[in-house]
Amino acid sequence: METITAALKEWNIAINALEKGQTIMLLRKGGIREQKGNFTVAYKQVLLYPTFEHQQPDLLKPEYATQVKVVDSGWHPEKIKISSFAEITHILSVSDESILNKLFIYHIWNEKFVSDRLKWKPQQPLYILLLRTYKLSQNCEIFYRREYGGCRSWIELNQTISMTNSVPVFTDDNYQSLSAEICHILTE
């Protein structure tokens, strides 16, 4: 049985979009508590750990903004539902807003989010992660632990979660085609 403990923290709305096949793309610069303040990919295969605290409807396209319930700073559910994992297949960097504008149809964020992310730590690129997402055969609920909190991308869960019998959101051909489209835009 294959199990995993490594997790990538991401907005709940983004994880929902990955699980529904609405995107394969995440845009990251890293959390405040990242190693040396820089974003790096710690794991290539990760559970998708939903966060709620920093979701901001005004940074999402309208169809996603309406799905977000704003919560108080520091709030988290007592139990976290883990329902998917992903293989990070591509790690791409971009600093050019015009290129990011060409990728607009491939992600859930609006122009303000993209612009704000590029302007924050402008000496650092924005990273595009392409994720092949898999739905777990059964959802797992884990208790929130203080060490899971904070502004960082990567955490290790205190329990293993099985990946056995997980189902990919996209077929191999569909995922390869979509990721090739995105990569082509970045290399034009």
Tell me phi and psi for residue 19, to 5 degrees. -70, -30
The CATH homologous superfamily for domain 3-187 is Hypothetical protein. (2.30.130.30)
Cβ–Cβ < 8 Å for 166, 83? no
Enter the tokens of residue 115: 């612009």
Domain boundary assignment for the chain: 3-187
Q: What is the pLDDT of residues 28-85, one digit of tens each?
A: 886 555 556 667 888 999 999 999 988 999 999 999 999 998 898 888 899 999 999 9
Report pLDDT for 35: 58
| pLDDT over 70 at 87, yes or no | yes
How far is the C-alpha of 13 from the C-alpha of 19, rounded, in Å?
Answer: 10
pTM passes above 0.75: yes
pLDDT of residue 36: 60
The region of weakest confidence among 55-64, 118-127, 164-173 is 118-127
Judged against a pLDDT cut of 70, whether residue 157 lies above it is answered with yes
Burial of 177 (0-12, 13-18, 19+ CB in 10 A): exposed
